[in-house]
Amino acid sequence: MNKPKPMGRASAFYLADRSIGAWQNAWALAGDYLSAAAFLGAVALYYSAGLDSLYYAVATLLGWPLLLILFADRLRAGGAYTLTGVLQQRFGSVRLQALSALTSLFVSVFYLLVQLIGAGKLLSLLFGWGYGSALMAVCGLTFALVFLGGMKATTLVQSIKAVCLFACAFVLVGLVWRAFDFQLPRLWQAVAQQRPAALLPSMALSDPIEQVSLVLGLVLGLLGLPHVLMRFFTVKNPQAAIRSAAYAGALIGLFFSLNVIVGFGALVLLDGQTLSGGGNMVLLHLANQLGGAGMQWALSVVVFLTILAVMAGLVMAASASLNQDILPLLFGHQVHRPLWAKGGIVLLLVLGGLLAWLFEDFNLAFLFGLAFAWAASAHFPVLWAQFFMPSFNERAAFYGLLCGAVVSTVLIVASPTVWVGVLGFETALFPWSNPTLFALPCSFLVIVGLCMRTSK
């Protein structure tokens, strides 16, 4: 594979001149990956469904060792800017570049919309802002951060946000521990007495097919998310990529462990109370009860910083796909200028903010599911084949990517989430909410079949 030529200012803007150290990149990875849902949403799920939240956390965490073993060093060794760039180093195909760039862009935009809609509603509850004002605040601050500082500023904010998030988690664990006289066994005894069902999987996870499909989507989806993969292009060398993946996995595992104590503590200490603002506000109510208004406001600021850091990472990934992969197809390979890069950021944030405003009440589960399904069923198979199949060819890459994206989309539309919940039909055409168990094999079959056919 031929390494792409350095692009000077592009490398500085998108990849921080590939100068990020392993430890800082690990904190930035943790900050990029741990969204508001990883704290507010996870604690809310412990409060409402008990052990189910731990199930999601473990499934998500399993992806990090795989990322470390399979992709981390190989992504950095190629010297690309984006997932599309990784594939183009081998094939140089216009149609593959167009398809992979579009899937990467759409995954980032879907994820961006989830964050924007969630951020608008969350900030409305936290600070009493209107939904539109909250969207403008998030988009404006994200624009200022990314526009002025690029990947270096994004990395710094993601790292600071991760440290602040851990600080809040440790403080809350200490407060919960104190509430049970510094004896954690008392917490588990209280959970067993007040809500014993919380220590067992709920009916939502009773279907083994749904469980397997969910785990596959969460585990392999991580290995195909453009904004996560992009962080491995920013480090100094492949060895730093390996170390940063290992450190990030350890940090995220530690954070999820802290969530167990905080989540079950909320279940016991807030049980039976009327909580304003909906289920996602459980963590803030717990902070207020244990640490007073000061703790609640400190946590609110960290949540805001969390949203900003995740948004910045998503915008950087989407902007890289737009400017490094899509615009060169339209205007030629000399298109890159700093103004183009920053203009793409403006376009993405304006478009994202407008869509988030128009679809305020849209089903976020659909967008989130589609982003992870495409990442797991389309991006992961072609990346795996790129690095581990000597007979991998352009036709297999193109049609494998297309098959994973199309089958995932069709199955999600036909699932209960959309067919019943959004479109209003009585019975879903596809009975499961997570399509990865079915879409992923289709993509692999297409790839393997076309590789075998070509080799003959």
Distances (CA, A) of 447 to 393, 401, 408, 453: 9, 9, 16, 10
Q: How far apart are CA 208 and CA 25, in angstroms?
A: 36
Looking at residue 382, its pLDDT comes to: 96
pLDDT of residue 456: 57
Query: Is the sign of the CA dihedral 43, 29, 129, 300 positive or negative?
Result: positive
Q: CA-to-CA distance for 305 and 351, rounded, in angstroms?
A: 22
pLDDT on residue 5:
40
The separation between CA 411 and the C-alpha centre of its own chain, rounded to angstroms, equals 21
Task: List, for residues 129-153, the tens digit of each pLDDT value.
Answer: 888 888 998 899 888 888 778 889 8
Half-sphere exposure of 322 (CA within 13 A, CB side): 21
pLDDT at 6: 41
Contact residues for 144 (Cβ-Cβ < 8 A; gap 6+):
none
What is the structure's pLDDT at 1? 40
Q: What pLDDT does 121 receive?
A: 80
Question: Which residue from 448, 312, 454 is spatially nearest to 382, judged by alpha carbons?
Answer: 448
Q: How far is CA 318 from CA 2, 110, 215, in A?
A: 24, 10, 26
The reported pLDDT for the residue numbered 4 is 41
What's the pLDDT at 150? 85
Quick one: pLDDT at residue 172?
Answer: 96
How far apart are the C-alpha atoms of 246 and 342, rounded to whole Å?
32
The size of the chain, in residues, is 456
Q: Which residues contact 338 (CB under 8 A, 6 or more apart)?
A: 9, 13
Query: Is 0.85 surpassed by the pTM of this model?
Result: yes
> Collapsing DSSP states into helix, strand and coil, what is residue 235?
strand
Q: How many CA atoms lie less than 13 Å away from 1 in the CB half-sphere?
A: 20
- SS3 for 42-94 is HHHHHHHHCCHHHHHHHHHHCHHHHHHHHHHHHHHHHCCCCHHHHHHHHHCCH
Q: Can you list the residues of the chain whose pLDDT is less than 50?
A: 1-8
CA angle centred on 153, ends 383 and 348, rounded to 5°: 65
